[in-house]
Amino acid sequence: MCGIIGYIGTKKASPILIAGLLRLEYRGYDSAGISTVEKNGLSVMKDKGRVKNLYNLDGIDNLEGTIGIAHTRWATHGKPSKENSHPHLDNSNSFAVVHNGIIENYNDLKNFLLDNGYTFRSQTDTEVIPNLIHYYYTKDEIDDNYRVLRAVQKACKDFKGSFAIQVISKFMPNNMIVVRKDSPLVIGKGDKENYISSDIPAILSFTKDFYLLNDYEFALLSKDTIEFFDINLNKLDKKVTSIDWNTTAADKSGYDDYMLKEIYEQPTAIRETIGSHLPENEPCHFENLNLDKKFLSNINKMYIVACGTAMHAGLTGKLAIEHICNIPVTVDIASEFRYRNPIIDKNTLCIFISQSGETADTIAALKLSKSKGATTLAISNVIGSSITREADYTIYTHAGPEIAVASTKAYTSQVILLNILALYFAEILGSVSQEEISKMKKEILALPNKIEKALNTSTEIKKFAKKIYQEKDIFFLGRGVDYNTALEGSLKLKEISYIHSEAYAAGELKHGPIALIENGITVISVITDEKLVEKTLSNIQEVISRGAKTLVITNQTLPSNNIDEVIMVPNTNVLLSPIISIIPLQLLSYYISKEKGLDVDKPRNLAKSVTVE
């Protein structure tokens, strides 16, 4: 999705803006541009294509401005082109704007502006923003330091939809204005300089101190000051949040790709996420989470709502909570949940999982649940992200910044956190024996070392990837927790190798999908639940007898049979096994993508953070 960068300080802005955009490339984009405040007015340099093309634009080296805004665009309204790229200017070239999100009522606003003599150069929804600001600016008769801010505020009151907006103007050559609604934006505070970004990692090398804006909050920045305002322009007092991510966490540290680095960071990510939640000889503990026995006993149902990989983590959480706490859990895709009428009341706990904390559908689902009276709990990897500010409670994964579009360490961190959460509920409810809880805690603490062992399968996996990377279709099978792992393995493969792939609950095969099995097709199965070994093996035999090539990821001793490849991973409690059995599947997608010569970190058509519907 689109990315925003801004700088206001004493240095030349353009190199800082381009460097920032390069750090946002992973979010996915099709064009890029910058605008700076120059002595003779506003400059705009933009084009479709890669950020690095900006270095070749005529005149870019001559920019001297120390205030600027920048953008990577991921087309929604209007094709990728120079005209549709951001920043956009108003008709009089007095205001430059970059925007993330969608102005849903832009057609009405455009007609209004057309009626008032404005013209448009692009097909974007964004171009109404600088023109509407100009409209309100000219209507304001008070010419003080806040005139541009008032114009931006009035324009924002007219917008329907989502937006993170940065504005610079020739009428305020020492300032910049930013505002957001349902779209991410952070302000990094430096010494005599301030930075703006869509996400924290992009400006982490400049500062660790951030201001996090809530919906309809405005910031008026100079190099030395930041003033905050609410929608009615009442002044706000906001606190700095310090982020403890280190800068190497946001670079490749010698790995070829972020995805590979992040796969190998999983033992650390899990250790950090377990953190202090499992104190020795004491119940599980979450700072800021105080759900009591009365509340938990009255819960009639839980929902876990998320998208993509985070939803797959939710499926594993459902099994843990149902098994240990005996509470029914429904897992929902956020984009479906938000448009149906989920049965929710004050005795419902809704859990929302989002690595970025900025996924539009997940945020909308959270708002819906709150409006129906549910208690809401967010699980996110990004401190201060939007879902964490909307939810009643937040618990964090501590995976560190995840840059590759394909989620790996965030997924395993979410799975572990959900299991610890299930234990936390179980201890309060007394729903399982202390012995079972202690066993599970031990298993959790042993996981980082076991993940390290699972990473050692990489040589075997790489060989297997070489054999199958040209396939057109690959199937994944599993039962119980292993079905969830199959779903996640299949999603990883699709995302970064562009191979068509489906995951099936192994027992469903006979009810239709087996018709797709033909000679030579690859079927990958996961078997970690000892109760289901024989059942899944029977399904594997069914595909073998129809000519399938088979790979099995397992922690069980399987009877010798005609499976082509068996990859062994360490054993653990079955509820935790997805954290280990997914590792070879992550590696498999990675090596297939490399064999095919694809861009592992930035797969086509995908964005890291899906901030629009």
Residue numbers at the binding site for ligand AGP (CB under 6 A):
307-310, 354-356, 359, 362, 405-407, 495, 609-610
**CA 422/CA 319 separation, integer angstroms:** 9
3-state secondary structure of 100: strand
Query: Minimum CB separation from ligand AGP for residue 171, in Å?
Result: 38
Task: Report the catalytic residues.
Answer: 2, 608
**CA 440/CA 444 separation, integer angstroms:** 6
329-333, strands of its sheet edge to edge: 329-333, 301-306, 348-354, 375-380, 393-396
Toward ligand AGP, which CB reaches closer, 126 or 335?
335
Exposure of 159 in the CB half-sphere (CA atoms within 13 A): 31
Toward ligand AGP, which CB reaches closer, 358 or 482?
358
Give the H or E element holding residue 450.
helix 434-455
Toward ligand AGP, which CB reaches closer, 31 or 356?
356
Toward ligand AGP, which CB reaches closer, 356 or 484?
356
Beta bridge partners of 162: 102
Query: Minimum CB separation from ligand AGP for residue 333, in Å?
Result: 10
Which residue is nearest to ligand AGP, using beta carbons? Answer: 308
Residue 388 dihedral angles phi and psi, to the nearest 5°: -70, -25
**CA 475/CA 106 separation, integer angstroms:** 44
Toward ligand AGP, which CB reaches closer, 394 or 407?
407
Query: Minimum CB separation from ligand AGP for residue 585, in Å?
Result: 12
| CB-CB contact of 76 with 126 (8 Å) | no
Toward ligand AGP, which CB reaches closer, 426 or 587?
587
**CA 2/CA 208 separation, integer angstroms:** 23
Query: Minimum CB separation from ligand AGP for residue 596, in Å?
Result: 18
Toward ligand AGP, which CB reaches closer, 357 or 480?
357
Residue 261 dihedral angles phi and psi, to the nearest 5°: -60, -45
The 3-class SS string of 503-544 reads EEEHHHHHHCHHHHCCCCCEEEEEECCHHHHHHHHHHHHHHH
| CB-CB contact of 84 with 106 (8 Å) | no
**CA 235/CA 57 separation, integer angstroms:** 40
Beta bridge partners of 161: 103
**CA 402/CA 268 separation, integer angstroms:** 13
Query: Minimum CB separation from ligand AGP for residue 357, in Å?
Result: 7
What's the full length of the chain, in residues? Answer: 613
Query: Minimum CB separation from ligand AGP for residue 583, in Å?
Result: 15
The gap between the terminal CA atoms of the chain, to the nearest Å, is: 11
Query: Minimum CB separation from ligand AGP for residue 354, in Å?
Result: 3
